[in-house]
A and B are shown apart, each in its own frame.
Chain A
Amino acid sequence: MPDFSSQPFVEVARRLEVQGAHSWLAVLSPLSDPTAACDALSTELESFLQTPVRVVPLRGSSFERLREQLHQPEHDAVILFASGDLEAGEWSSLDSMRSALERRGPVVLWMAPDAVGRLTEFAPNIRSFIGSSIFLAGPEPGIMTDKERESRLEELRQHYQLSDQEIVRRAEAKELPPEPHFVEWLVLVGRGDLV
C-alpha cells in the first residue's frame, strides 16, 4: 500500500470544500473503533460544510437503492461506508454503476486501509473519481495534552494562590466562588463530578 498522508477530519472537510461540487475523496478508517471515527467525521463535515451528512452503507445495498440514496437529496454530504468485508464482486458492481454515483454534493468513501488494493483492482473508475485524494484518518486535533493541562493549572494556581487540593476541598464543601475559572479548574484536575 502506498504511503497516504494522515489528515484530521477537519482538514478533510476543508479539502472537500476546496474541491467544490461533485467532489470525492477517500478516508482510510483507523483500526480501532471505526464506527466512532466515522461518527466523528460526520460531525466534522456537518460543522464545517454546514450541510446535513448521511452515512450510507455499501454492503447489502442494491443498485436502485444506492442510486436513490445518493440523489434524494443530492446536495448534502454522503459518507459511503465500505465495511472491511466488502468483496471483489461488490466492488465491481459498485464500479459498474459509477455514473449513477455522480452527484452534486460531496462524497467520502470510508474504507479500511487494506481495501485500497481491491478498490484499485476491482473498481478502477471509482478509484479515478478519487484520484490522489486518499487520506488516513488522523488524530483529532485540539484535545488538551497533559502538558497543556498542567500549564493551565499552573496559571490558575499562581493567579489565585491556591492549590488543586484546596479547590477540590472547597468544591466538596460547596464553597467555591461562582465566577468562571473554578469549574475549568475542576475539569483540569479530573473532578468534573464536583461541578
Chain B
Amino acid sequence: MTRDRALKRAADIDRRTHLEIGARAFPSPRKMFSAIRAYLLRRSDDIKTRNNPIQLLKFAESNGVASIVLGPGIDKGPTPHDFHFDSGARLSFALILRERDGGSQLVEFRYHYQLPDQLPASPSPGYFRFDLNRSPHTDPLSEPRCHLHPGLEDVRLPISLHDPFEILDRIFFVLEKAV
C-alpha cells in the first residue's frame, strides 16, 4: 500500500513535468544551437583548459526534430570530443527539440558531467547525469521522467524541469566549483 502511494505521488510528479514541458516554449532549434554555442564559448573563455565549442557542438535534424549534441553519446572515458574542465571533469550532452510554431519544445535531454578520475575506494559519485525522458516510464518511482543520476546508474532522483541553460548553469557554476 505504501509503495502504491509512492507510485501515485511519483506519477503526479511526471504529470507536472509533462504539463510544464508543454507550457515552455524555446526559440527555434537553430537559434538554440547558436545560443548554446555562445554560452559554451563564454564559459570556455572563463577557464584555463582549452576547448573549442565551435568544433565540439553538433547539430542534426530530421522531420522537425533536432538534436544538439556535444561529446560521445555514451561516456566510456575521456575523448577529444568532450568539453573538459580545469578540475579534470568532462561534459557531454544531447538535447532533442521539436520545432513548434516557429520555436521549439523540449523532447528529451541527457547531460553527463563526469568527475575527474578518482581512486577506486573514493567516495566520489563518479558522475552526475541530468536526464529528461521523452515519455513517462511505467515505474515513475524508479525512473521519474526528469531526473538526476547521482553517480549510480540505477538511482534516478526526480528533479524539477530545467531548461538547457539552467542545467549548464548548475554544471558550470555549482558542480564544477565544488570539485
Contact = CB atoms under 8 A, between A and B. Distances in A.
A10 B54 contact: yes
B79 to A, nearest CB: 11
Interface of A: 8, 10-11, 13-14, 40, 43-44, 47-48, 50, 141-144, 148-149, 152, 155-156, 159, 178-184, 186-193, 195
A193 B62 CA distance: 7
B38 A47 contact: yes
A84 to B, nearest CB: 25
CB-based closest 10 A-B pairs: A192-B62, A192-B65, A192-B63, A180-B110, A193-B63, A47-B38, A47-B34, A144-B60, A178-B133, A48-B38
Interface string B127-171: 000011111110000010100000000000000000000000000
A195 B143 contact: no
B108 A156 contact: no
Interface of B: 30-31, 33-35, 37-38, 41, 54-55, 57-67, 69, 72-74, 94, 96, 98, 107-110, 131-137, 143, 145
For A11, A152, A156, the residue with the greatest tally of chain B CB atoms inside 10 Å of its CB is A152
Interface of A is mostly: helix
Contacts of A178: 133-137, 143, 145
A184 B62 CA distance: 10
A152 B69 contact: yes
Contacts of B135: 178
- Between B31, B55, B58, the greatest number of chain A beta carbons within 10 A of the residue's beta carbon is seen for B58
A44 B34 contact: yes
A180 B94 contact: yes
Contacts of B60: 143-144, 149, 187-188
